[in-house]
A and B are shown apart, each in its own frame.
Chain A
Amino acid sequence: MFDDPLLLARVQFALTAGVHYLFVALTLGLAPFILFGQLGATLRRDEARMRAVRFWGGLYVVNYAMGVLSGLVMELQLALNWSGLSDMFGYAFGAPLAVETMGAFFVESTFLGLWIFGWDRMGRWAHLACFAVVTATAYLSAYWVLVANGFLRYPVGLRMEDGVAHVADPAALMANPSTLLAFGHIGFSALLVGSSVVIAVSAYHLARRHDPDRMFGRGIRWGTAVFSLALFPTVTAGGAQFALYDRTPPASGLTYGPAEIAAIEAGGRAPGVFDAVGDTLMMGSWGLMSLIAPVLLGVWLLRRLDRWRGVLWPLVVLPFLPFGASVGGWLLRETQRQPWAVEDLLTTADAMTDMTPAMAAVSFTLFTLAFAVLATATYVLLVRYARLGPEGGPLAPARTGGSDSGRAAANPPVHTF
């Protein structure tokens, strides 16, 4: 394997993208819980609810860090390893990614910084507004990334000039059916991820009869409500994506004729086992989740949702289902496209930078190892803080009393030369 740069680059991309998506899905899914939790706390001027926001917010930030680190590697990996893609499709594929980084991510990260550093320094409505911006730009970010990814899957709105693709119709690119359907499916499936994490963490603490400020009782109810509501939209949007499988993308034929396309596809389809695994993961876990949701709702009706240990303990592993389904979904989507990097227009082999095996091996080893270590560390931290509860989380308020009491009072002078 180490002497085939193409295989290395593909495996590297798949691993990093998969890891990136695990963290991003939680970001997308958790953000609305924090936003509405903070809205409730702000409206009621409720310190207890604000402590809950700090707890979930701490998990959010730990998770966001890994989303950023892995996103960086993704972005630069596209630039370093997949230059064929930007040589031919730089304008069409690169433009939405440019909007993502410049517009969405720039704003998202800046306002998240304001939110983290602003806890004790800005008015409560301004602080809430910062997180509203963070939530909105997280979804905007996902949309623009999917414009780029939808373009690979279903190229539209193109014109070829001297072997370089130009955007002929920006509106068509933005309204690409592959993008919109995926965005819908991903939005709701991310809510499944977020709500199942909220449910699992709440269940863990409730099972141990640990419910400070009654925050985990609220958590499991809100989680269950969102979880149940997101199930059906997820399958509707997901099923709608099958319709695109038999459609030939509008831009097909710009680089290869139908006979050439058929020949390339005959030689290079990805092994069907990936499809099967992806399909099974998604539909199997959706099936299980659609059995679990009515149980939860029933227990809720009996008013035992925060008490029955027999129900609570198994819920701790609930997140494995939507996370598994998410990886499976991407496995399906990306391998379905093979042997194309851009459907019908550019093969994966041609999309890769000319690399020697040594270059590919260095990049693969370095980044895959770093990724494994970082992802494991982040995962360990997430579990640790989730189990620790609101006392001592990364955003927990400073303990009062003792030597710290003078600290908050003094507004320290700014030192300037």
Chain B
Amino acid sequence: MEIIAVVLLAGLVAGYLVLAGCDIGLGMLMPWVARTRAERRRAVSAMAPYFLGSEVWLLGAVGVAMGLLPELKAAVITGMWPVFVALLAGWLFRDAGLWMRGRMRGRAGRAVCDAGIVGGSWTLALSWGLAVGGLLGGGAVLTPFALGCALTAAALFALRGAAFGAERLVPAAGTEGAGGRGPRPALAAESGTAGVPAAGEVTAPSTPTRHSTEAGGTGPAHAADPGGAADTADTALAADTAARATRPLARAALVAGVLAAGASLLPGGAAPDRPLAAAAAALMLLGLLAATSGLSGPQLSRHTSAAALASVPVVVAAAVNLPVAPVPDGSALLVGSALAPAVPFMVLGQVWLYRMVRRPAPAPGYFA
């Protein structure tokens, strides 16, 4: 019986990491990929449906842990109290920023919200890494190993956010600026038609990009001109920056993962109960990263980053004997029978939501 609860829990956590990876990662990258006001707005409106639809997975996971696997919950959450307080704080500030940003009328209000979104996203990513490191390391979170895990997690989330941004930060046709002011999606257009671009194409696009304009000092200067035309320009630069970031981020994740794997051998490193399984699962994770950082462009990184994040709960489950007790019949009956009628709605709602928001909204909505 407990196997069902464990699979449910792992599934919810994996679903959370895959979906929330998009909005957390993009939130982490906001200072780099979304520099103008229009770009920041677009970034937030890309994140909004994802954060609404993804954090319910995590709450569901917390619910399963509380109701069906209380021993696991006590061991994990109570054992790493500071990490989870940080996680909760990051979650709170990030959500507050996302919910309130569209309601702010002034520059300062939006800046505060942006700070909440960016800081909260980083806090979330790093604390998830620490939590995984702590789980694998037997509860200690201030070890080189756990810190390595935190860096790996941050890079993985950022990678997922970059892949997501490369797709969703392209302005909708007909919005300000998309028609005339800036170059149409440079990298985006190329790789969309030419399939997987070769490495050279990715790093040396032919159309002007933010990096080249900044280096050359010509073209729209982004942050330097508050209130000017550049501040509202809505181009595909953000999408290009994100697309270009996927490769270095995948490499960073690979390096951090290798470092963490190395640190796990140090004294005080990982204390897995099943070393072989742990090694195999970690290898899987690293292999996926290596695949992304190799020849393929941003195209594949959506899938590989998703797979890498989804494999995290698998790594943990394979490596550690977490304290799970058989779920007693009474609770199983209560939860099972109450939940069964909800499942069709859960599936329908999630599929519908994510399908619907593949098309950018025709008009500005609640969040941006």
A interface residues, Cβ below 8 angstroms from B = 58, 61-62, 65, 68-69, 72-73, 75-76, 78-80, 83, 86-87, 90-92, 94-107, 109-114, 116-122, 133, 144, 157, 159, 161, 166-170, 173-174, 353, 355, 359, 362-363, 366-367, 370, 374, 377, 381, 394-395, 397-398, 403-404, 406-417
Contacts and interface: CB of A to CB of B under 8 A. Distances in A.
Nearest to A380: B103
A409 B67 CA distance: 49
B177 to A, nearest CB: 11
30 contacts: A58-B366, A61-B366, A65-B99, A68-B99, A72-B88, A72-B95, A79-B66, A79-B78, A80-B78, A90-B73, A92-B331, A95-B335, A99-B335, A99-B339, A101-B60, A101-B63, A103-B341, A107-B349, A110-B346, A113-B52, A113-B353, A121-B362, A122-B356, A166-B328, A363-B85, A367-B89, A398-B363, A414-B359, A415-B185, A416-B167
A57 to B, nearest CB: 9
B250 to A, nearest CB: 15
Contacts of A83: 74, 77-78
Nearest to A58: B366
A390 B363 CA distance: 17
Contact of A370 (B82, B89, B339, B366): B89
Given A65-B95, A75-B62, A113-B52, 13 more contacts: A76-B88, A109-B56, A111-B349, A116-B365, A122-B356, A170-B331, A170-B333, A394-B103, A404-B363, A408-B363, A410-B172, A417-B243, A417-B297
Contacts of B82: 359
Contact of A395 (B99, B328, B334, B366): B366
A105 B192 contact: no
Given A76-B62, A116-B365, A416-B192, A98 B335 contact: yes
B240 to A, nearest CB: 11
Contacts of A411: 359, 362
Closest 10 CB pairs of A and B: A90-B70, A98-B67, A167-B330, A101-B63, A398-B363, A110-B349, A412-B172, A103-B342, A94-B66, A415-B170
A397 B366 CA distance: 10
Nearest to A381: B103
B176 interface: yes
Contact of B52 (A75, A109, A168): A109
A120 B48 CA distance: 17
Contacts of A62: 103
B313 interface: no
B112 to A, nearest CB: 10
B85 A120 contact: no
Contacts of B239: 415
Contacts of A403: 176
Contact of B167 (A103, A167, A417): A417
Contacts of A374: 92, 96
Contacts of A95: 67-68, 331, 334-335
B297 A398 contact: no
Q: Kindly name the residue among B63, B96, B173, B341 whose own CB sees the greatest number of chain A CB atoms within 10 A.
A: B63
Contacts of A167: 328, 330-331, 333-334
A415 B188 contact: yes
A99 B8 CA distance: 13
Contact of A113 (B49, B243, B364): B49
Contacts of A94: 66-68, 70, 73
Interface string B304-331: 0000000000000000000000011011
Contacts of A104: 342
Contacts of B32: none
Interface string B65-88: 011101101100110011011001
Contacts of B57: 106
A87 B173 CA distance: 55
A174 B334 CA distance: 9
B9 to A, nearest CB: 11
Contacts of A157: 330
B292 interface: no
A410 B334 CA distance: 50
B366 A394 contact: yes
Q: Kindly name the residue among A75, A98, A144, A410 whose own CB sees the greatest number of chain B CB atoms within 10 A.
A: A98
A117 B353 contact: yes
Contacts of A398: 362-364
A73 B358 CA distance: 31
B360 interface: yes
A406 B84 CA distance: 47
B203 interface: no
B331 to A, nearest CB: 4
Contacts of A96: 67, 334
Nearest to B351: A110
B342 A102 contact: yes
A112 B53 CA distance: 10
B115 to A, nearest CB: 13
A362 B84 CA distance: 13
B67 A91 contact: yes
Given A113-B53, A117-B361, A403-B176, A106 B96 contact: no
Nearest to B340: A103
A402 to B, nearest CB: 11
Contacts of B327: 91
A19 to B, nearest CB: 13
A118 B89 CA distance: 31
Contact of B88 (A73, A99, A101, A377): A73
Nearest to B50: A113
Contacts of B95: 65, 68-69, 72
B330 A121 contact: no
Nearest to A70: B92
A90 B73 CA distance: 9
A266 B356 CA distance: 60
Contacts of A169: 330
B213 interface: no
A75 B298 contact: no
